[in-house]
Amino acid sequence: MSKIQYDFGSGRSDPSTFPVAGLQAAATKVIAEQAQELTEYPGNLGHPGMRKAMALRESEREGVSVDPDHLMLTNGSMQGVTLSAEALQENHGDTILVEEYSYPGTLSAYRNLKLDMVGIPLDEGGMRPDKVEEQLERLSKENRLPKFIYTISTYQNPTGFVMPVARRRQIIALGQRYNVPIIEDNCYADVHYDGPLEPAFYALDDDPNIIYLCSLSKILAPGLRLGYIYAKPPMLDRLLARRSDAGSNTLAAAITAEFYKDGIAAHAKVANPVLQEKRDLTLQGLEEELGDICVWSVPVGGLFIWVRLPEDVDRQKLMAMSREQGVAYLPGQSFHFQRRDVPYLRLAFGHLTPDQISTGLPILARCIKTCRGSNEGRDFDSLF
Ligand SMILES: Cc1ncc(COP(=O)(O)O)c(C=O)c1O
């Protein structure tokens, strides 16, 4: 197999904006100043300075006050995904609601926990509340209400869509009507380019049944393995009780807290425009190369574009041929809650160079056209 030169597969930020000097300076300072704390176990909530910095991040974005003592630091948001599910699950086979297309890491964690996922169809506004209601009604009648609803409501992975505020309120109301907790995974939160900013679920309602997950992976780097859960008591206590890993890495947290001590805006102002340019370049390439046969999302933030392919593309052949020609992407199937082979693919543009985007996209487009059974024009106008 040939070497992958154009990796549209993995969702990472631009490595060139990783703030080496800023983190070096922060590390030198905190290792000297916090030596005592570094020799101790962090406890279940974790480094107080980092919780304070992340409470500031949240309250600045959401315009509501966030108590640092209700934040629990985790090993990436992925630990938040697993821990919250473990805390809410009672038995193997418990039902949960997820978006029909969702993050493969979460889907895999839920499969490992033997949760029974019910997929909710999406549209341009994310998870559809009418379908959530339909499922809650059905499951309630069957006496197996879901243990929780998991949603990536902002810059959804893989579609890139943002759920409008009215829809967020509807989903909160449904959660309350059926007494089902909501887990909002907001790991792309501050990777914003343009368009309206929608509030997090917790900013709309004080309900302790709302659990919020966030991360440093997409604004700084996934190698830090830093994320957090924000939840209010008594839910917070339930989550803390489920934890048994002695807390998360104090050194990474202390360095990051120092780096972000005045807020995250300064670094976001450097990192986001670089990503935005690459989003634009990818959209432009799609228009030029695939405008006649495909439809795609136009994300206002996050790292992904969701592309709908013509039905007559041989998807297995496409994957093999693209890889052979040095292009990687993730197929729609990876995101489907039941691994259904669907005519979509996801393009991640964050960590590629502009040159790789401009060269890689035409190669992918040629492969898509070669793997079709016809030369027909597009017979659909929307993503779903
Ligand atoms: C929706 C979603 N949740 C969680 C994660 C995991 O991220 P982290 O590195 O914070 O564990 C990702 C990573 O791509 C993601 O897309």
56: CATH: 3.40.640.10
* Centre of ligand 1 from the C-alpha of residue 69, in Å: 23
Is 382 a member of any domain? no
Which residue carries 């052949």 as its tokens? 317
Is 171 a member of any domain? yes
Nearest to 281 by CA among 190, 356, 169, 208: 356
- Helical ranges in 192-308 per DSSP H: 201-204, 235-242, 250-259, 265-290
Is 1 a member of any domain? no
Protein residues with CB under 6 Å of any ligand 1 atom: 11, 76-78, 81, 103, 105-106, 152, 157, 185, 187, 215, 217, 222, 227
Is 254 a member of any domain? yes
Whether the pTM exceeds 0.95: the reply is yes
User: Best substitution site from 98, 190, 217 to test ligand 1's pocket, by max atoms within 8 Å of Cβ?
Assistant: 217
377-379-384 Cα angle (round to 5): 135
Q: Are residues 223 and 310 in the same domain?
A: no
Q: Are residues 11 and 111 in the same domain?
A: no
Is 384 a member of any domain? no
Is 192 a member of any domain? yes
Q: Is there a cis peptide before residue 234, judged by omega within 30 degrees of 0?
A: yes
* Centre of ligand 1 from the C-alpha of residue 330, in Å: 15
Tell me the C-alpha distance between 247 and 382, whole Å.
45
pLDDT at 196: 83
pLDDT at 344: 98
Q: Are residues 118 and 249 in the same domain?
A: yes
69 secondary structure, DSSP code: G
Q: Are residues 150 and 161 in the same domain?
A: yes
**Per-residue pLDDT tens over the stretch 243-295:** 999 999 999 999 999 999 999 999 999 999 999 999 999 999 999 999 999 99
Q: Are residues 168 and 149 in the same domain?
A: yes
Q: Are residues 162 and 275 in the same domain?
A: no
Q: Are residues 200 and 335 in the same domain?
A: no
Tell me the C-alpha distance between 316 and 318, whole Å.
5
* Centre of ligand 1 from the C-alpha of residue 332, in Å: 17
Which ligand 1 atom is the nearest neighbour of the CA of 102? 1
CA-to-CA separations, 13 to 55, 58, 64, 228, in angstroms, rounded: 22, 20, 28, 19
Is 180 a member of any domain? yes
Enclosing domain of residue 302 = 6-16+266-370
pLDDT at 61: 97
* Centre of ligand 1 from the C-alpha of residue 107, in Å: 11
Is 378 a member of any domain? no
Residue spans of beta strands (DSSP E) within the chain: 6-7, 71-74, 95-99, 116-120, 122-123, 126-127, 149-151, 182-185, 210-215, 227-230, 295-296, 304-308, 327-328, 330-331, 344-348
* Count of structural domains, the chain: 2
Which segments in the chain show pLDDT lower than 50? none
User: Best substitution site from 10, 161, 187 to test ligand 1's pocket, by max atoms within 8 Å of Cβ?
Assistant: 187
Q: At what angle do helices 250-259 and 20-33 cross, to 10 degrees?
A: 120
Which pairs count as long-range contacts for 330-334, CB under 8 Å and 24+ apart, including other chains?
Answer: 330/9, 330/104, 330/158, 332/101, 334/104
Q: Are residues 130 and 194 in the same domain?
A: yes
Which of 263, 294, 311 delimits the end of a domain? 263
Q: Are residues 270 and 257 in the same domain?
A: no
Nearest to 78 by CA among 108, 99, 57: 108
pLDDT at 225: 97
Which ligand 1 atom is the nearest neighbour of the CA of 75? 11
Residue nearest to atom 14 of ligand 1 (CA): 11
* Centre of ligand 1 from the C-alpha of residue 209, in Å: 21
pLDDT at 195: 85
Q: Are residues 205 and 298 in the same domain?
A: no
User: Kind and range of the H or E element at 131?
Assistant: helix 129-141
Which of 243, 263, 283 delimits the end of a domain? 263
* Centre of ligand 1 from the C-alpha of residue 17, in Å: 19
Q: Are residues 42 and 83 in the same domain?
A: yes
Strands 295-296 and 227-230: unpaired
Strands 182-185 and 149-151: parallel
Tell me the C-alpha distance between 152 and 155, whole Å.
7
Which of 214, 246, 263 delimits the end of a domain? 263
283: CATH: 3.90.1150.10
Tell me the C-alpha distance between 229 and 236, whole Å.
9
Q: Are residues 318 and 182 in the same domain?
A: no
